[in-house]
Structure 1
Amino acid sequence: MGGEDARHPIRARLSAASANPRPGRARRRAEPRLPPPNGRLLAARPPRPSANRRRVSPFPHRGRLSSSSSSVRRRQEAAAMAQAKQCRRLEPGLARSVLAGVEAVLFDCDGVLWRGEAAVPGAAEALGRLAAEGGAEGGRRRLLCYVTNNSSRTRGAYVEKLRRLGFPPAEPRQVFGSAYCAARYLRRALPPGAAAYVLGGAALSAELEAAGVAHLGAGPEAAAAAPEQEASAAQPPPGSRAPLDPSVRAVLVGYDEHFSYAKLCLALRYLLRGDGDCLLVGTNRDHRLPLEGGSAVPGTGCLVKAVETAAEREAFIIGKPSDYIFECVANEFNIDPARTIMVGDRLDTDILMGNNCGLKTLLTLTGVTTLEEVKDHLKSDCPKRKNLVPDYYVDSIADLLPALQD
């Protein structure tokens, strides 16, 4: 990273990006409104003057999801409704009644539609029948979308996996991964000619590239460039003196198998540089990724927390349970939250997002959550725990098949 070209690896692309408008700028639908650049500072550090500004809603002033006040009101209404949720089993008769008023169904993927490389038995057939049925208005096919926190796959990869496992054909615009939505966010948040320093892999880089967002740092390069030796008075820590690209105005943290101390140093230096207006964005807060057999590996949330701790700043989070990822879906398809159902296997991401956004929520027990966990939340007097309770549950998404028979 010592030469002039390495010091500014994306300068040529930035010049091209400045000369040509980024794709997707001319849109008829309003995009979600952006939050303030600095996020909220953590309690360990006295707030900077810039952090004392009123926090602005990141959502659009239009349509059903029209203003910051309506967003707050929707959350308040959702919190009140959460107190009455009972997590009822979605038996066939009840399922027919519930689905009759639904025009859009949002699915988490892993643990709901498939486990690893194997589809959940009956899931593909259930989605095929859901898509074939008319929605709430009866005059059009019901919309199916796929909303995932996984930033290690592109939308195209999800479309291919759905096809390979026998699910109904899907278009990339039906897939809302945290990598794509992060690219969508930065495309609007960054000023012309600015770039992002990325802690992430090839899929995150590909989505940024497709969105026209200049970036650097993705992959193993930064980690490989730093010598593996302990810091000392004579030898500074890896990454602490590497040249900084002057165009970087955001740090984006996703799933990064090559996360290292050198990358953490670079991320912190970008965030501390200048007047501190560098954005800090995380794809999701999932702290643990379950594996078959009961094991697990650390998730992206661990990496986000490391950067937040070093920077003493809270990141803006793209994925579930953040409202932002649902707002991306709502603005793409103009769907009505009251006629939308979120199907997931995690209470703290899928169900919480659905409840916060005023959607109906359906828990499947083919993933990480057990019914006993839900019952514990139901018994609690804590409003936050009550908000983790879904409207309905099924053992598997295939349990919907009797309600979808011709």
Structure 2
Amino acid sequence: MPIGAISKSTRLIFEQGKRLLLPSSLPSCSRSSMASCNPVTELSARQILNDVDNFVFDCDGVLWDGLTAIDGSSETLKRLKNLGKKVYYITNNSTNTRKKYKEKCEKLMGIPVTEDEVLCTAYAAALYLHNKKHKGKVYVVGNRAMGEELDQVGINHTGIGPDVVGDKSMLTDFAKTELDPEVNCVLVGFDPDLSLNKMVKGASYARQEGSLFLATNEDSHLPLRSNVTIPGTGSIVAAVKVPARREPIVIGKPNPTIFNVLKEAHGLDPSRTMMVGDRCNTDIALAKNCGLHSLLVLSGVMKQEDVDRDKISADPEITRNLPDHVANCLGDFGKHIPESSLPRESFCMLRSYHNKSSAVRTDDILESMACTKMDVKVAEEIMESTDNFVFDCFGVLWKGEAAVPGSVETIALLKSRGKKVFYLTNNSNDTRQYYVNTCHRYGFNANEDEVLCTAYLHSRKFTDKVYVIGNPGMAEELDRFGIRHTGLGPDIVGDQRRLEDFIPTELDPEIGCVLVGFDPNISFTKMVKGASYARRPDVLFLATNEDTHLPLDTEDVVVPGTGCIVASIKVPARRDPIVIGKPEAAIFNVLKEAHNLDPARTMMVGDTPSTDILLAKNSGLKSLLVLSGITTQTDMEALVTSSDPVTRRLIPDFYAENLGALGQCIQQLGEEN
């Protein structure tokens, strides 16, 4: 597209080059105020007008609510413009192009607006990629507006639109997902067509070495006045970044990137610019990051009680983002603005990674950090001090279609020595009977009393009707206990394209609990309902587990775990669930009470430090980590060399290449005796 055919701001941005948008080039602004959270009065309004030439407005929750203008917002903008003030509009909303926002501003505010005055994250993300001279294809978890803005700057992209799960019924079906070798960037924005297929692809591409990972914003929910909670882009970003185990570069607020577009295009002086918004963690944080004045209005996401709580917070990041001024709505500021110009007056105002260049042997490092490798002496200690063995399944006993080498023999050997064996999994897809059958298929002689899965555990707790984001295995266990439930199966978006389309979502007044497990049919409609129910303080919010990804044996494809689905609900609900599965002690306590187990004489054997080993720590058990599943030798090395006390708590007592190593050492021990 010829440079002469595009807008003034775009032309200036192109001329400035990529320095404008690269995070490393952003200035560190630290404008401070002698006082914070001052209510807007006639005096303070005149001071603002004296000190500020440029006003930058967030839109949703500040100027309008859905399709309705907020009282006083239009008149305030008109008065500011009459005084010669420059007015701009910045939004984290990625669902519309600048042209659409221009049209909405003109319709609801009743004033003329140019595209140069509007900046949305779909446009800013496209500019970011253009100025980086991005070559390759972008996988977009997003919407049509994002695609249009990418098209405008000639960026090749794929992924927009529905990508349904179809007849995929097994977890291993997702591991066969075909990836496009041309994709080297993932861009996540608001996507009403979010599906597990998109999570798989987005996480897989983002996980690839050298790939670029971008997000338009991380807003937790939309500022709509409704009893329905509409998840924001942050919930969708969480569904991708959790399994990718990587943070994205955020284009929108509070990153200075988006303000710098306006600053460079219009020659704005930050010290004479005010950001007006309804969120402290995005709008006001942007002001702090860019050295702007700030005004928080309470007509959107934040209310007075939120401000009062933040003012006494012990978290310096929260208190840093307190606004200079607060008003109930924009009209409360506007009523103090005269209709003609004023004379200028003066007013008094977690993981630390091991250095790979080190010549120290990994085994030496592990031994020095009290994490002992399996050998005959260790096996002897374990056999003498342990009566009960609790095993994770996938990655420990089997992987794919085969048992892990030596695992069947080791389990049989332990049982022959009089040890009790139990099987404990965070997988909520299947019932206990299914797991018994699976154990038998791989060669393990298990019975139902020895098996505990999260689908069985949660069904011991409930009396109310449950909204289930999950799978048939969870439903079967609920049915066994006569617990009413709803939500299972597909709940497609249909022709709902606009954010406002989700407000009429019907909610069931009988719901007393939200239960989240692995759900191959996850959709935006389910996210809306789950977050809306979980937002209610009287509703129980449970999750079977928060595993980030599944330990499927594939080099390229990442299959998201239940943790990404949980994240997509808890982010907009702004509430953490009670986690039923590992690493919480509740799941072990079921075994403990049913079989009278002594924790001091029980060992947890698993392949994941953050669930299996942490369960052992939380329950007072011994722990053995096997490297046949998720955790690698390199991961172990990073774990034991970390200085973070939270990370160091994940270090196991013992580790082995696989379960067969324990069995071999036990056999050698018997031969020596």
Secondary structure at the counterpart of residue 559 of structure 2: strand
Q: Distance in 2 between matches of 1:85 and 1:326?
A: 27
Aligned partners of 1:85 and 1:391 also within 8 Å: no
Match of residue 378 from structure 1? 640
Aligned partners of 2:535 and 2:574 also within 8 Å: no
> Which amino acid letter does the alignment assign opposite residue 182 of structure 1?
H
Q: Distance in 1 between matches of 2:420 and 2:504?
A: 51
Q: Distance in 2 between matches of 1:143 and 1:214?
A: 35
Which one of 281, 286, 291 corresponds to residue 552 of structure 2? 291
Q: Distance in 2 between matches of 1:349 and 1:205?
A: 24
Match of residue 216 from structure 1? 486
Match of residue 495 from structure 2? 228
Q: Distance in 1 between matches of 2:426 and 2:369?
A: 25
Q: Give how far 1:394 is off.
A: 1.0
Match of residue 241 from structure 1? 504
Secondary structure at the counterpart of residue 306 of structure 1: helix
Q: Give how far 1:403 is off.
A: 3.6
Q: Give how far 1:232 is off.
A: 5.7
Which one of 349, 370, 373 corresponds to residue 86 of structure 1? 370
Secondary structure at the counterpart of residue 208 of structure 1: helix
Q: Give how far 1:271 is off.
A: 3.0
Match of residue 117 from structure 1? 401
Give the alignment of 1:161-176 within 5 angstroms. Answer: 161-168=438-445, 170-176=446-452
Match of residue 516 from structure 2? 253
Match of residue 4 from structure 1? none
1:199 pairs with 2:469: yes
Which one of 136, 158, 183 corresponds to residue 435 of structure 2? 158
Match of residue 413 from structure 2? 129
Which one of 337, 350, 354 corresponds to residue 616 of structure 2? 354
Aligned partners of 1:85 and 1:390 also within 8 Å: no
Match of residue 124 from structure 2? none
Q: Distance in 1 between matches of 2:394 and 2:552?
A: 11
Q: Distance in 1 between matches of 2:571 and 2:647?
A: 26
Higher RCO, Cα 8 Å, sep 6+? 1
> Which amino acid letter does the alignment assign opposite residue 112 of structure 1?
V
Q: Distance in 2 between matches of 1:130 and 1:261?
A: 47
Secondary structure at the counterpart of residue 383 of structure 2: helix
Aligned partners of 1:250 and 1:279 also within 8 Å: yes
Match of residue 280 from structure 1? 541
Match of residue 262 from structure 1? 525
Deviations 1:359-398 (A, max 9, x none): 1100111111122322322222221121111111111111
Which one of 448, 452, 457 corresponds to residue 181 of structure 1? 457
Structure 2: 5+ residue runs without aligned partners?
1-279, 282-301, 307-367
Q: Distance in 1 between matches of 2:561 and 2:579?
A: 14
Match of residue 82 from structure 2? none
Q: Distance in 2 between matches of 1:95 and 1:272?
A: 49
Q: Distance in 2 between matches of 1:85 and 1:211?
A: 46
1:147 pairs with 2:424: yes
Deviations 1:259-295 (A, max 9, x none): 111111112332345xx20011111111222332223
Deviations 1:276-322 (A, max 9, x none): 20011111111222332223111111111111111111111011111
Q: Give how far 1:231 is off.
A: 2.1
> Which amino acid letter does the alignment assign opposite residue 176 of structure 1?
L
Deviations 1:7-53 (A, max 9, x none): xxxxxxxxxxxxxxxxxxxxxxxxxxxxxxxxxxxx97868xxxxxx
Aligned partners of 1:199 and 1:256 also within 8 Å: yes
Q: Give how far 1:209 is off.
A: 1.1
Q: Distance in 2 between matches of 1:290 and 1:333?
A: 29
Q: Give how far 1:172 is off.
A: 1.4
Aligned partners of 2:395 and 2:551 also within 8 Å: no
Deviations 1:71-122 (A, max 9, x none): xxxxxxxxxxxxx961111212320221122111000001000001210122
Q: Quote the RMSD (CA, aligned, Å).
A: 2.4
Aligned partners of 2:551 and 2:629 also within 8 Å: no
Q: Distance in 1 between matches of 2:586 and 2:624?
A: 20
Deviations 1:147-173 (A, max 9, x none): 1111111111110011011112x2212
Q: Distance in 2 between matches of 1:293 and 1:262?
A: 30
1:368 pairs with 2:630: yes
Larger radius of gyration: 2
Deviations 1:197-245 (A, max 9, x none): 000010111111112221111122xx14x42330265xx22xx434333
Q: Distance in 2 between matches of 1:105 and 1:321?
A: 16
Aligned partners of 1:282 and 1:315 also within 8 Å: yes
Give me the identity figure in percent: 37
1:358/1:260 CA distance change after superposition, 3 Å = same
Q: Distance in 2 between matches of 1:195 and 1:85?
A: 48
